[in-house]
Amino acid sequence: MDTPQSDIIVVGAGAAGLMAARELGRAGKKVTILEARDRCGGRIYSLSTEEFGYPAEGGAEFVHGEAPVTHALLREAGLSLVPVHGTRWNAEHGAFSRDEAPDLGADRLGQALADLKTDVTVADFLERHFAGPEHSRLRHSIVRRVEGYDAADPALASTLALRDEWMNREPSPQARIAGGYGALIAYLAAECRRQAAVIHLNSAVRAIEAADGRALVHCANGEKYAGDRVILTVPLPVLQEIVLPHAVGEKFAAAANIGFGSVIKILLRFKTQWWTSGKGRNLADLLFLLSDQTVPVWWTQCSTERPVLTGWVAGPNTTGLAHLDENKLIETGLASLADMFGLSPKNLTLDLVAARAINWGHDPFARGAYSYATPRTREAQSVLTSSDGAAVLLSGEALYRGRDMGTVEAALASGLETARTIIAADQI
């Protein structure tokens, strides 16, 4: 059988791949999308409504901040946002208190961050400026934020990138998509098909060859596809598993300078919102609950119709749980909650209706959750996104040079940028 020919082969039907494919299809390109999973969306993974009573998110859940590309797409798709509100609580030494995150712009910390001229890792920065025992609370709070929010290792994470993320900006509003992120992916996939792009599921790419000025893509299922250009949107750890033409492999080695963290997400649906009264406190407004438990972060759905708690372990803290299967992770989550609220895990289990635990580090087509900046990331991104007429291009959340790398917005914006680079180059 003849090898199917395309102008562009997009590897990966996540946010970046679908966004790039749609843009290229609109410009009249013949696009083929090869996706390893049996579904589109990648790290956007909305579960079936039957499981949790709504499309609960196994992957991305929140729309952070301004996110202009996401907002434009939502408007086009007729999807709306539900603002997230509620209070952050701390559970510490058997008591609950409202969380008061340190003011990162304040006093000595703000000054030390403002004075920083050359990038260093967060661990080095803390060691240099805040090593004493009097700063232990501040260190704890910063490390918790770097690990928990950015899924990053403080020994690798860039202080300048975090300064950019934390300071000089309004507090970032958060929202969820009514109908879930899956609705956005369904819209994008339908748009791609409308532009005549063909999506092949269950088509894991294992090698790319350069042949006669074209690229030949080999899938693990034995299928082959030829194209003028290939856009790889696979997560960075997966990139290392694809055999690439030598020169491309050498260029893509720069990806080692981009951090990539892991996340374990635990979703627990209960019969009741039993947590609203915690040890005599009224926790009816609970949004986030932070602690030093094995599963340290929890959040609610801010809705009485959704008695669901989501547990979150991120960054280096996932390593100690790597050996646990899904049931053991669920048990660990229940144990953390029981300990904080002074309840028996057995009673919590009796109230449980549905449970899922997803260790993204074990996902063969992600091998982690999302990227973060190290002191060498901006330089690496410049190398990786320099197109210089190359037949194999890299796109996806990790290549986004704006402030919020590691997000859906970053993936959509990166996909769009890559498509526009190709379209512009072909017009010359």
Ligand X SMILES: Cc1cc2nc3c(=O)[nH]c(=O)nc-3n(C[C@H](O)[C@H](O)[C@H](O)COP(=O)(O)OP(=O)(O)OC[C@H]3O[C@@H](n4cnc5c(N)ncnc54)[C@H](O)[C@@H]3O)c2cc1C
The residue ranges that bind ligand X (CB under 6 A) are 11-17, 34-37, 42-44, 59-62, 64, 204-205, 233-235, 238, 242, 263, 265, 360, 365-366, 369-370, 396-397, 406-411
Q: Supply 43's token pair.
A: 């790290």
Which candidate, 419, 418, 401, 421, places its Cα nearest to that of 410? 401
CA separation for the pair 266, 370 (Å, rounded): 17
Residue 317 beta carbon to ligand X: minimum distance, rounded to whole angstroms: 14
Question: Nearer to ligand X by C-beta: 227 or 278?
Answer: 227
Q: Which is nearer to ligand X, 111 or 387 (CB)?
A: 387
CA 422 to chain centre: 26
Contact 6, 225 (CB under 8 A): yes
- Given the complex with ligand X, which of 282 and 319 has the nearer CB atom? 319
Nearest to 148, CA basis, from 311, 307, 300: 311
Single-letter residue type at 189: A
CB of 93 to ligand X, least distance (A): 29
Of residues 109 and 410, the one with the C-beta less far from ligand X: 410
User: Is residue 315 within 8 Å of residue 123, measured between CB atoms?
Assistant: no
- CB 413 → ligand X: shortest distance, Å? 10
Nearer to ligand X, 113 or 205 (CB): 205
Complex with ligand X: residue 15 or 416, whichever CB lies closer: 15
Dist CA 170 CA 167 (whole Å): 8
Residue 227 CB, shortest distance to ligand X, in Å, is 14
Residue 105 CB, shortest distance to ligand X, in Å, is 24
Which lies closer to ligand X via its Cβ, residue 140 or residue 169?
Answer: 169
Using alpha carbons, select from 227, 408, 268 the residue that is nearest to residue 351. Answer: 268
Cα angle 231, 265, 199 (rounded to 5 degrees) comes to 30
CB of 207 closer than 8 Å to CB of 223: no
- Identify the bridge partners of residue 286 per DSSP, sorted by sequence position: 87
The three-state secondary structure class of 322 is: coil
Q: Which is nearer to ligand X, 148 or 235 (CB)?
A: 235
Residue 176 beta carbon to ligand X: minimum distance, rounded to whole angstroms: 9
Structure tokens at 407: 């997000």
Minimum distance of ligand X from residue 359's CB (angstroms): 10
Give the Cα separation of 314 and 326 in Å (integer). Answer: 16
Q: How far is CA 316 from the centre of its chain?
A: 16
Minimum distance from residue 94 beta carbon to ligand X (Å): 29
